[in-house]
Amino acid sequence: MATCFWLRSCGAQRLGSTFPGCRLRPRAGGLVPASRPAPGPAQLRGYAGGLAGLSAALLRTDSFVGGRWLPAAATFPVQDPASGAALGMVADCGVREARAAVRAAYEAFCSWREVSAKERSSLLRKWYNLMIQNKDDLARIITAESGKPLKEAHGEILYSAFFLEWFSEEARRVYGDIIYTPAKDRRALVLKQPIGVAAVITPWNFPSAMITRKVGAALAAGCTVVVKPAEDTPFSALALAEVNQGFLLDLDPLLLASQAGIPSGVYNVIPCSRKNAKEVGEAICTDPLVSKISFTGSTTTGKILLHHAANSVKRVSMELGGLAPFIVFDSANVDQAVAGAMASKFRNTGQTCVCSNQFLVQRGIHDAFVKAFAEAMKKNLRVGNGFEEGTTQGPLINEKAVEKVEKQVNDAVSKGATIVTGGKRHQLGKNFFEPTLLCNVTQDMLCTHEETFGPLAPVIKFNTEEEAIAIANAADVGLAGYFYSQDPAQIWRVAEQLEVGMVGVNEGLISSVECPFGGVKQSGLGREGSKYGIDEYLELKYVCYGGL
């Protein structure tokens, strides 16, 4: 363990706090050793204004493998989606680096699995505390690389940290069973054991929370991880690694791992460009040392990863695409339904997997809902740079995403839909699109059967409850669904009949660390968060104890 500490403190160079007025918060355990080498110009890979003013110690550009910051042979640019400016050049890992990260994780697993649940709990809690201490800088990184409004980025950091807090508590609640068999001289035991190395592949829309939701559960169970973050948002994943090791570097070597910090190789990050993403994903998903794959992203990519996993029969968790229906029945409170629609549709500019994708509104309440919804959009939504105060709608992640929204709007209008508000690109820049509301929408339009991932709200008018359920359940995916009603019997019927993994009843925001997150049909496999999330990283072992 002393050797591991030496590698961290001497071999893992860090960016110094060279940006004026910014620094990491003080850490428990003392000051950073003065012997740590100062960064040279080559290490500061040209950050643009989006990251200026942040703690340089959190702005990492290399991969993080085996407790060390390691460069790659090539780099790739990360851009601010609001301005298009380059934020920095990040290590472009390939197959070789991916396999090295898996080996480091596997070697670490052999000892990490033996660390007591209480100690793992303590370490995850320390990681949580450090995220909270550095929440402002971590939020600014999210806004810079994803465009998310800063207020929402702060919310994501808290949500992200809460997963570490939650799983720090769940680590101590992994229970087995004792089963009494018909044979009097035998006892049957059921043990829960960590599955091994987990390959974690995460999306750009929640670059911090999607990591901690997976990694928190994995580490609590005793697994180690290799994280491949989205190519658009690698800085958040690398900052988590820096915060992760923040409570390691200031400690006496004799206290490392078992008493004071997460050991080298337990958390590894390998960023890569879009060009290398396919081969890196295949490398970590087919590596025989990897026992588990956890992926959040599109259904198309999820199917490819499932194919890779099938060849070696690996355990998988998949949180894939959705087509969330938002149903408003005649008995609904219109004001409540509009508030829920605003929260569900326009969070992160419509770029969440549980965003409402189609609004089904019953004939009797349709006109009142559309009018109130349009008024709320005009009054409450402000398009702008995520760092600007008052911004509620930032840019989409890239121009391809804008083109998709634009295509859906044009398709709908060509088939008879009416634009109530919005409907075109925003004057702020190529990655901005106006929040858009459509009515007179029919089921033959792209926006009703293709996930939008943007600020588009299409409204379909329906007549009966049965019709609404049929439209909602026609999709081959089923992640989340929402509906508004004041009829208790209807609430029970619809909640049970919707073919989705999560239902919001008179509520537009449903995500919580305490509750299971996941879908049915082609929206994925398994659940994340909640008391069930840790089970995704545990194997059951039956032990028959005879001769008693």
Domain ranges in the chain are: 63-247+258-321+528-540, 324-512
- Residue 240 phi/psi, 5° resolution? -65, -35
Query: Which amino acid is present at 539?
Result: E
Active site residues: 319
Distance from C-alpha of 406 to C-alpha of 402, rounded to nearest angstrom? 6
Indicate left, alpha or beta for 251 from its phi (over 0: left) and psi (-120 to 50: alpha). beta
Distance from C-alpha of 455 to C-alpha of 383, rounded to nearest angstrom? 11
Whole-model pTM? 0.88
Output the CATH code of domain 63-247+258-321+528-540. 3.40.605.10
Distance from C-alpha of 61 to C-alpha of 46, rounded to nearest angstrom? 11
* pLDDT tens, per residue, the chain with 548 residues: 333 322 233 333 333 332 223 333 333 333 233 333 333 323 323 334 456 677 777 889 999 999 999 999 999 999 999 999 999 999 999 999 999 999 999 999 999 999 999 999 999 999 999 899 889 999 999 999 999 999 999 999 999 999 999 999 999 999 999 999 999 999 999 999 999 999 999 999 999 999 999 999 999 999 999 999 999 999 999 999 887 765 443 333 222 222 336 789 999 999 999 999 999 999 999 999 999 999 999 999 999 999 999 999 999 999 999 999 999 999 999 999 999 999 999 999 999 999 999 999 999 999 999 999 999 999 999 999 999 999 999 999 999 999 999 999 999 999 999 999 999 999 999 999 999 999 999 999 999 999 999 999 999 999 999 999 999 999 999 999 999 999 999 999 999 999 999 999 999 999 999 999 999 999 999 999 999 999 999 999 999 999 99
Q: 203 CB contacts (<8 Å, ≥6 apart)?
A: 210, 230, 296, 297
Distance from C-alpha of 267 to C-alpha of 14, rounded to nearest angstrom? 17
- Residue 290 phi/psi, 5° resolution? -90, 130
CATH of 324-512, one of 3.40.50.2300, 3.40.30.10, 1.10.10.10, 3.40.309.10: 3.40.309.10
Q: 364 CB contacts (<8 Å, ≥6 apart)?
A: 330
